[in-house]
Each structure stands twice: as structure tokens, then as C-alpha cells.
Structure 1
Amino acid sequence: MTNLRADWAHRPTHRRVWALAAPMIVSNVTVPLVTLTDSTVAGHLSHASQLAAVAVGGAIYQLPVFLCGFLRMGTVGFSAQASGREDGDDLRRILLQTLLLSLALSSLLLLAAAPLLSPVLRLMDPSADLRGLGAAYLHVRLAGLPAALASYALAGWFLGAQNARVTVQILIVTNLVNIGLNLLFVLGFGWGVRGIALASVIGEWSGCLLGLTRIAGQLRRFPGHLHLDELRRWVCWRPLLGVNRDILLRSIALEGVFFAMTTLGARLGGSVVAANALLLNGLMLTAFALDGLANAVESVTGHAIGARQRDTLRRALVVAGGWSLIGSLLFVAVFALGGHLFVDLQTDITAVREIAYTYLPYLAVLPLIAFPGYLLDGLFVGATRATEMRNAMLVAALVFLAAATLLHPLGNHGLWIAFLAFMLVRGGVMAWVARRIARTADGWLTRPVRA
């Protein structure tokens, strides 16, 4: 307890964590604001099917994008560890590797999109009208996929290199352009669902191009050379690909849970899936806000491992953990006291509002249950310990599936209870693994993976 108090009282650590976390929180909050704006604009159109189409189409688009989140998460740890070693050569190689990966993946996904789009929409079992609107949204939205994946790679690299400012700029430009054009195209020009999708595409390309223009300035801080011959050797790709593989499997399990929430909700009716989407926007606000602290932990953890600074790592975890707890309690209060207003701001469709009101208590308790998982993600990402992250997420996903099956007779209540169980197990398993690693001889400094 004395060590915890001393670590919490260490002011330089507070300043370092918040120097990274504060701009990331501001930028991260704009990410769910895009989905929130999409839902709000669609929610004020004339038919509930348009809101449901954005929810369904957005869920399908986010599936491959979210799964490719390893392009950011898998890059941060390697970039941060290279930064801690002041290794400019490694920083250049990691950047090129992750950009090449983003290009290859976006090409494969676009080739697969045409034959898979219709089967995926049928799997969700919406009405014919909803399928048509969802397909129209996706046909436009997919044009932004290459930019979205490249932005992931750039954001992770800049954050790991201790430059959260550029990561923030990429996210803010992407999301604010999206929000502004969303209002213009839909409310101003009346372009409907297609206008919502087009605004997202332009926003994604704007953020990507901005990130590309900032690379040269970052590299000047870390002198070095790019050795292209290393890219022809498998040994230089194996660690990065291994971490990305495990994060991909972890992301498949996580996105599978969210996709199941949308799919099972859609089978309960269009108004139910729309209401669940509005409530999950609240969880997204919580997650992306608290992820700012997790992002700080990613960067500090990787840098401390590269520089072999045990005390720095421990203090950062204590400080970020304390602030994450405080933040989660604030979100609990916001949703408990202002949940009805949060729903009303997103839609004026009475049927959707009434359903969302019923399930607000689940949203109110989610932040407190979910925050340990967000924080520990930062620790595992910075340490490039993706295998442990993968295993914890697989266990939690299996718990969700079992709970959703057993509680199916409870309808949407059962679905939300299963989701709460998923979040609880996710954080609990990761905390248990983290404690075991900390008790080893060198703790989190043992066998850092190097790209």
C-alpha cells in the first residue's frame, strides 16, 4: 500500500501520463462522435429503417476495419521500444513494414467485399428494404478502407515514437471532417444514407494524407537509415507478424461479440437493433475516453521496456489505473442521471426511444465493469505480449456465447447480461495474467519482443 501511495504521489509520472493521455482522450472522443453523428442524423430522417441501415451497414464496415486494428496496436509497442532504445533504423523499418501491411490488407479486403457483401447482409436477416439501404451505404463506405487502415498504421507508429500530437491530428481531422460533411450532405443536400457514407470516406482520406505529410518531421528526431535489404529477410518480419496475428485473433473474438450484439438484436426487430446501437454509442464514448489513458500506458510501457526502466513502468500503471477508475465512475454518474437525454439527443423516433430507456441501467454500470480491460490492453500492447491478450479475449468471448445461449429466453435483457459478463471476464482474466507476469524475476521487462 505504501508503494502505491508513493507511486500515485509521483508528480512527474502524472505529467508524463497526461501529456500523452489528454490529447488522446480529446481525439478518441471524436471517434464515437462520428458514429453518434451518423446515428443522430439518420435518426432524424423519416424512417426507422434508415437509422437501422446505418447501424447494420456501419457494423459490417467496422468488422474488417476493427479486425485490422492490429496495424495500430501491433505497431505501438515495437515503435515505443525502438524509441526507448533511440534506434532510428528500427523506427524506419517498422513504419515501412506496417504501411506495406495496410496496403496489402486493404487490397485483399476490397477484392473480397463484392462476393461477401450479400451473404453477410442475409446473415443479419433484416427486411428487404433494410438490406437495400445497408448495401447502398456500404458500396460508398468501402472507398475509404485503404485510408482507414493506413491511418491505423500511422497513428500507432507516431504514438509509439512518443509523438501523440500527430496521432491526435490524424484522428481529429478524420472525424471532424466526417462530422461536418455528414451534416452538410444529409441535412443540407438531402443525400440520405449515401451522404452519411460519403462523409466518412472523405474524412478517412483527409486524416491519412495528413499523417503521411508528418513522417519526415518525426524521423528527424531519430537519426538513422532505412535498410531495404532487411525487408527480404523473414527474421525481420516474424516478430511483427506474430504479434499482429495474435492481436488479429483477439480482435476477431472482440468484434464477434459486438457483431453478435447487432445480429441478435436485429433478429428481435429493427427498433431493438436501433436502440441497442444508440446505447452502445454510450459505451463507445466511455471506451474511447478511457482508451486515452490506455494509449498513454502503451507508449510509456514500450518506452520503459526499451530503456529497461522498471520504476517508470510501475508508476505509469498506478497513475493511469487511478485516473481510469475516476473516469469510469464519472461515466456511471452521467449515464445514470442523464441517460434519457443521451438517447433523446440521438433520435426522435418514439419506438426506439422507449426501447432504449428500458435498457439504460445496463449502460450505466458498464463503464465500471469495462475499464480494467481497457487499461490492461495498454500494458499488454506496449509490452508486445499479444499472446496473453489473445487468450484472455477468447475466454471472455466464450463466456459471452454461453451466457447469450442460456439467457436467450430473456430476449434483449439476456443479451445485455451476457455482454456485461463478457466485459467482466475480459478484465478479470487479464488482471490475473498481469499479476503472474509481475511476479516473475524481471517482471514485465522479461523477454521483450523486438521487431
Structure 2
Amino acid sequence: MTDRPTSSPSTAPDRRPGAVAGDWNRRVLRIAGPIILSNLSVPLLGAVDTAVMGHQPEAAYLGGVAIGALFFSFIYWGFGFLRMGTTGFAAQAYGAGEEKELGATLLRPLLLGAGLGGLIVVLQAPLAGLALHLLDPGAEVARLARSYIDIRIWGAPATLMLYAILGWQLGIQRAASVLLLQLVLNGTNMALTLLLVVGLDWRIEGAATGTLVAEYLALGLGLWLVRRSLAALAATIDWLRVRDRARLLALVRVNADIFIRTACLQLVFGLFARSGAQFGDATLAGNAVLLQFQAFLAYGLDGFAHAVEVLAGSAVGAKSRKAFRSAVIVCSVWALVLAALFTLVYALAGPWLIALFTDISEVRAVAEAMLPWILASPLISVWSYQLDGIFIGATRTAAMRNAMIVSLLFFIVAERLLTPAFGNDGLWTALLIFMAMRAVTLGAYYPGLERSLTGRKAQAA
């Protein structure tokens, strides 16, 4: 799982602009496999946090962690551009064989992440106060949530720097390093949470401290892995290139586009939850259960979305239309197979899986009634995930931004028209229309992206 030096031909990074079909399948699975495995550790971490807090003497502890975790999820999801944007730039520099630019594609987002993380720490009091005011939990839950936030907030620089490291390692096709970092981060977090909360009875402070320590341990490992990768690639740090105005502006532009795209996505799911709440608590809870199914789908398909992100980005750097098309086709075929597998599993085991999430009969009835929409979701959603990966890898983020804004408008119109007439079925229809429109609108930009991959290197492919 460690990176090897390039001195051995058998272990040298594969930057070939094209490859035979067998090679492409191996390359895709070598990237997607570790990403899918690393994604599996994310819901496990949430399950451990919920379980240990759920066995505290008062329910307020579980509520405090839930509110605190929601606070960090909202903030960190907004800074997800540090991962996505970094992968695209790194993949293109890797494909083009630009060793000096490889170092710069790491340092720019790494320094940006440190700065933004520091700003979050400085602004912790007003940010936490605003969040608790908007969420308006009970007094005891608010007190415990604030204790959780006040400790974990100091990990913001480490978390955002890790985003940059993960994006860069993925961009240079070190998926095994990404897996190792995620396993260390989440595994250490789970172990420390159990030790501090269950073993030492630190309660909510233990959960926050476990996460904080795990974040800095993972950052230390990430920096060490980065150093090894830079040496293996013979990449150097050129501070003049790091400070290059045009490249800095490109980084800001890409990150701003991804931020807007992510904000629109968050807004859709926020509006979905709000609209579902009008049908009562049972419907709200039933929808929440099925959204967990959608989340697991996203964790799985993200593996192939990341694979196409890396391989298509590398092809863009090499200006190879042939390699670009091969990466898109092979990754998309594998993603479609996985999407069909999700549909099959949900069709065969859907009611049983719902029962694992809840034993409340009213909630289960709602979830089972809406299950057909989840059966359709994988085969509809897969295309938007794949296209996101393609355009992130190519750093054509303006198209992503524009497509997401249009898709958001389609969701709002569909929800307004369908929900009054068809109730919760109309709401789920609107969500799937949104997923479909993400693919349709972004797909409209795809032919132009492929045509742009011309030049001397394209002829060599």
C-alpha cells in the first residue's frame, strides 16, 4: 500500500496516453477498488459514534453529537472543492509529465486548506453560535453540542489540508495511499472514541477528542506519503510556480465553481427534507431511511467516478482524445454494472434493509411504499456521478456549475408541480428528475469537451 520509486520499470507510474482494453480495466479497478473500500469506513465511523453516545445515561448526549457532527458536515462539505479541484489539476500535470507543476498542484491547495482551516478556528465562536441558533436544540443538547464543537474545531486545519492531500494522491493515481489514509483516519477515530468514551468515560468530550487526534495523526501520515510520492515522481517544489498568478486564479475559479455546484446540491436535499416534513414525522423518517440507500449508492459509484476523474484528467494533460474516450467508456461500463447490482440488491433485500434501520411500523410502511423510486435511482443517478468525475478531471467546472444551477431549477419546478398532486411520490419523482437533469445538462457539454482534446500529443495516441 506504499508508493515505490520509479527506478523499477515494473512499478513506474503508468502515464501512457492509451492502453489496450485489458490494461484499462485493470487501471480502472486499481483506482476504483481502494476508493470504494475507503468509502465503506465512513458510515462505520458514524455508526460507532452513534452507538457509544446512544449508551450514555441521557439522550441529550446523542443529540449533542448529532448536532455537532451536522455542524462540521455542513462546513466541511462546503470546502470539498479542496479535494475535487486538486484531483483535476494534479491528474492533468501527471498526464503531461510536468514534474514542477505536480509539486505546485499540491502546495497551492495545501496552503489554502491551512489558511481556511485557521480562519474557521478564529471564527469558531460566531460560527457555532449561528449554527446553534438556527438549529435551535434544547438547552442541554446545545450545551453538549457546544462542548463537542469547541474541541473538534481545532482539527479544521488538519481536515482541510487532508482534503488537498487526498485529492493530490488520487490525481497521481495513488489510490492505495488514499485508502491507507482513510483507514488510518477513520480506524484511529473509532478506536480512540471507544477508548475515551467507553474506557475512560470522557463522554462527549471523548468523542470530540478522538476525532481531533485522529485528524492530526492522519495529516502526519499524509505529509509523509506526499514526501515519498514527490520523490518517486522526481517532482520538485518551485515556489515561483506555486505563486504564479494565472495558475492561482485558475485554482480560485475552479474552486468557486465547485463550491457553487455543491451549494446547489445541498439546497436540493434541504428542500427535499423540508418538503417531506409537511407530510408528517413518519414520512420524514421514511424518506430519511431511503436517503441512506442513496448515500450508500453514492459511496459505491464514487469509486468509478473518482477513477474516471483521474484517468480522464491524465488524458486531458496528455492531450489524448483516444485515452480520454477509453477512460470514459471503461469507467462508465463498470459504473453501470455496479449501479445495476445496487438495483438488484435493493429489489431483493429492500424490505429487510429497511427493517435494519427502523422497527417503527409507520416509518417502514412509508419507506417500503417509496422503495420503487430507490430501485430506479441507481440506473438514473450513475450518469450524473460519472459526468461529474469527467468534468472535474478536465477542470471544466464552469459547465458543472451551470448544469447544476439548471438542474436545481428543474427540481424546484418539479417539486412545486408534482408534490401537491401526488404527495410523497411526487417529491421522489422531482428528486429523480433532478438526477436525470444533472446528466442531461452536463452531457450537453460533453461533445465540446472531447473535441477540445486535440494537438500534437493527440496524434501520437
TM-score by length of 1: 0.85
Q: Which residue of 2 aligns with 1:70?
A: 81
Question: Of residues 189, 208, 211 in structure 1, which corresponds to 2:222?
Answer: 211
How far is the alpha carbon of 1:424 from its aligned partner? 1.9
Give the drift of 1:228.
1.7
Are residues 224 and 128 of structure 1, via their aligned partners in 2, closer, same or farther at CA, if it must alter by over 3 Å? closer
Q: 2:439 matched to 1:427?
A: yes
Q: Residues of 2 paired with 1:149 and 1:73: CA distance?
A: 12
- Matched with 1:21 is 32
Q: Distance in 2 between matches of 1:266 and 1:107?
A: 37
The 3 A distance-change label for structure 1 pair 12 and 225 is closer
Alpha-carbon offset, residue 160 of structure 1: 1.0
- Please tell me whether residue 30 in structure 1 is matched to residue 41 in structure 2: yes
Matched, 1:254 2:254: no
2:91 is aligned to 80
Structure 1 range deviating more: 188-197 or 303-312: 188-197
Indicate if the aligned counterparts of 2:320 and 2:453 stay in contact, CA closer than 8 A.
no
* Structure 1 residue 177 displacement after superposition: 2.2
Q: CA deviation at 1:195?
A: 4.6
Deviations along 1:297-343, one digit per CA (max 9) or x if unpaired, are 11111211222222221111111111111111111222233234434
Query: 2-side partners of 1:114 and 1:390: how far apart?
Result: 31
- 2:232 alignment partner, SS class: coil
| Shift in Å, 1:419 | 2.5
Query: 222, 236, 251: which is aligned to 1:240?
Result: 251
* Residue among 315, 322, 343 paired with 2:326: 315
Aligned to 2:5: none
Using the alignment, how far apart are the partners of 1:49 and 1:344 within structure 2?
25
Q: Which of residues 400, 416, 420 is equivalent to 2:411?
A: 400
Q: 1:238 to 1:284 in 2, by over 3 A?
A: same
Output the CA distance in 1 between the equivalents of 2:287 and 2:103.
Answer: 43
Residues 43 and 348 of structure 1 are in contact (CA less than 8 Å); yes or no, is this contact kept in structure 2? no
Alignment correspondent of 1:388: 399
CA distance in 1: counterparts of 2:264 and 2:454, whole angstroms: 25
Instruction: Summarize the Cα distance change of 1:165–1:253 in structure 2 as closer, same or farther, 3 Å threshold.
Output: same
The offset of 1:186, in angstroms, is 5.1
Letter of the aligned partner of 1:370 in structure 2? S
Query: Which whole-Å CA distance do the structure 1 matches of 2:305 and 2:75 have between them?
Result: 23
Aligned to 1:222: 233
Identity, % of aligned pairs? 38
Q: Which residue of 2 aligns with 1:180?
A: 191
Match of 1:155 among 142, 166, 179: 166
Quote the Cα distance in structure 1 between the aligned partners of 2:358 and 2:434. 28
* Range that drifts further, 277-286 or 101-110: 277-286
Aligned to 1:162, what secondary structure does the other structure show? Answer: coil
- The answer to whether the 8 Å contact 1:147/1:208 transfers is yes
Q: What secondary structure is seen at the aligned counterpart in 1 of 2:445?
A: helix
The 2-side partners of 1:351 and 1:54 are apart by 27
> RMSD of aligned C-alpha atoms?
3.4
**Partner residue, 2:335:** 324
State the SS of the aligned residue for 1:108: helix
Distance apart, 1:98 and its partner CA = 0.9
In structure 1, the partner of 2:449 is: 437
The one-letter amino acid of 1:217's match is R
Among 360, 364, 367, the alignment partner of 2:375 is 364
The farther-off stretch of 225-234 and 142-151 is: 225-234
Q: Which residue is 1:4 aligned to?
A: none
Candidates 164, 173, 176, aligned match of 1:165: 176
Provide the rounded CA distance (Å) in 2 between the counterparts of 1:244 and 1:202.
Answer: 28
Whether contact under 8 Å (1:49, 1:129) holds in the other structure is yes
Q: Kindly indicate whether the alpha-carbon contact (under 8 Å) linking 1:73 and 1:381 is maintained by their aligned counterparts in 2.
A: yes
Q: Contact 1:77 / 1:298 at 8 angstroms: preserved in 2?
A: yes
Once the two structures are superposed, what CA deviation does each residue of 1:193-239 show, in whole Å capped at 9, x if it has no partner? 55544443333333222111112211112224322234444223111
Q: Give CA deviations for 1:350-391 in whole Å, capped at 9, x if unaligned.
A: 776565555444433322221111111111011111111111
- Which runs of 5 or more residues in structure 1 are unaligned? 1-6
SS at match of 2:236: coil
Which ranges of structure 2 fall in alignment gaps of 5 or more residues? 1-17
**2:115 matches 1:104:** yes
Residues 26-80 of structure 1 show CA distances to partners (whole Å, capped at 9, x for unaligned) of 1122223333444555567788776665555433321221111111111111111
Cα deviation, residue 183, structure 1: 4.5
Counterpart-to-counterpart distance in 1, 2:326 and 2:426:
40
Aligned mate of 2:350, from 336, 339, 360: 339
Residue of structure 1 equivalent to 2:310: 299
Please state how far the C-alpha of 1:96 moved relative to its aligned partner.
1.1
Kindly tell me: are residues 426 and 193 of structure 1, through their superposed partners in 2, closer, same or farther at Cα, counting changes over 3 Å? Answer: farther
Whole-angstrom CA distance in 2 between matches of 1:270 and 1:307: 53
Alignment TM-score, normalising by the size of structure 2 = 0.83
Distance 1:128 1:187, change over 3 A: same
- Matching residue of 2:15: none
Higher RCO (C-alpha under 8 Å, 6+ residues apart): 1
How far off its partner does 1:94 sit?
Answer: 1.5
Q: Distance in 1 between matches of 2:210 and 2:278?
A: 29
Aligned counterparts of 1:421 and 1:70: Cα–Cα separation in 2: 25
- For the 8 Å contact 1:24–1:168, the answer to whether it is kept is yes
Which secondary structure does the structure 1 equivalent of 2:444 belong to? helix
Residues 148-168 of structure 1, C-alpha deviations (whole Å, 9 max, x = no match): 211110011111112122122
How many residues were matched structurally? 439
Task: Evaluate the alpha carbon distance shift between residue 325 and residue 232 of structure 1 in structure 2; reply closer, same or farther with a 3 A threshold.
Answer: closer
